[in-house]
Amino acid sequence: METGPIMPASGGYRNLEAFKLATIVYDGTTSFCNRFVAPRSRTNDQMIQAARSGKQNIVEGSMASATSSKSEIFLLNVARASLEELLNDYEDYLRQNGHRQWDKNEEKAAYIRKIARREEKGYKDYCKYVEEKSAETAANTMICVINQASFLLRRMIKRNERNFVEQGGLTERMHAARSAARRKQQPER
């Protein structure tokens, strides 16, 4: 195991594509719920909170990464679970309201997915589909973005698991640094 900094930098979540997409999901879900879901309903609150949890757990996991790989992986999984819950809410909405869910290979879905490939993207790139189009288009747009965010989170989790197995976590780094310091202090024989 290569010894490097004991406490690597943490944070940097604002540059993560998964965080950018989760932020779009949160903003889009808030707009969707304001337009199509009864404002005082449990569903409205649940959908907005699931979207918020998806975003905020990426933040928390990123900040915890320096001291606990376990916490980071756990929180990224919580973010994914929250987005999966939200995905099911959108699917339920479509089904219960007689709307069609787009197949992932159809042209509309492909177009929405293509937006995420833009260098600088934000909710502004999706807002017309959520704020101006039909409930069916708005829900399907959010489903596309949620699926993309979940895909990226799944990749992050796998990468973090590999890194932990190969490099260890804080405890292993601290032990390696202390062992190296002791070896330097011992007189040569």
Q: Read off the pLDDT of residues 121-154 as tens digits, 9 standing for 90 and up.
A: 999 999 999 999 999 999 999 999 999 999 999 9
Of 63-67, 119-123, 141-145, 155-159, least confident by mean pLDDT is: 63-67
What's phi and psi for 168, nearest 5 deg?
80, 180
Q: What is the pLDDT of residue 90?
A: 98
For residue 182, pLDDT over 70 is answered with yes
The pair of three-digit structure tokens given for residue 175, joined into one six-digit string: 């032990």
Q: What is the pLDDT of residue 180?
A: 74
What's phi and psi for 18, nearest 5 deg?
-65, -40
**Within a domain: 30:** yes
- Of the candidates 143, 141, 146, 140, which has an alpha carbon nearest to the alpha carbon of residue 126? 141
Q: What is the pLDDT of residue 177?
A: 67
- H helices of the chain, in order, are 17-36, 42-64, 69-96, 107-115, 127-131, 135-167, 170-185
**Within a domain: 1:** no
Q: What is the pLDDT of residue 6?
A: 53
Kindly list the distances between the CA atom of residue 137 and the CA atoms of 84, 101, 156, 164, in Å, as whole numbers in the listed order: 19, 9, 29, 41
**Within a domain: 8:** no
Structurally, the chain folds into a number of domains equal to 1
**Within a domain: 173:** yes
Q: What is the pLDDT of residue 1?
A: 35
**Within a domain: 4:** no
pLDDT higher at 27 or 120: 27
Kindly list the distances between the CA atom of residue 104 and the CA atoms of 1, 107, 133, 181, 186, in Å, as whole numbers in the listed order: 43, 8, 19, 55, 63
Where in the sequence is the domain holding 131, given as residue range(s)? 13-185
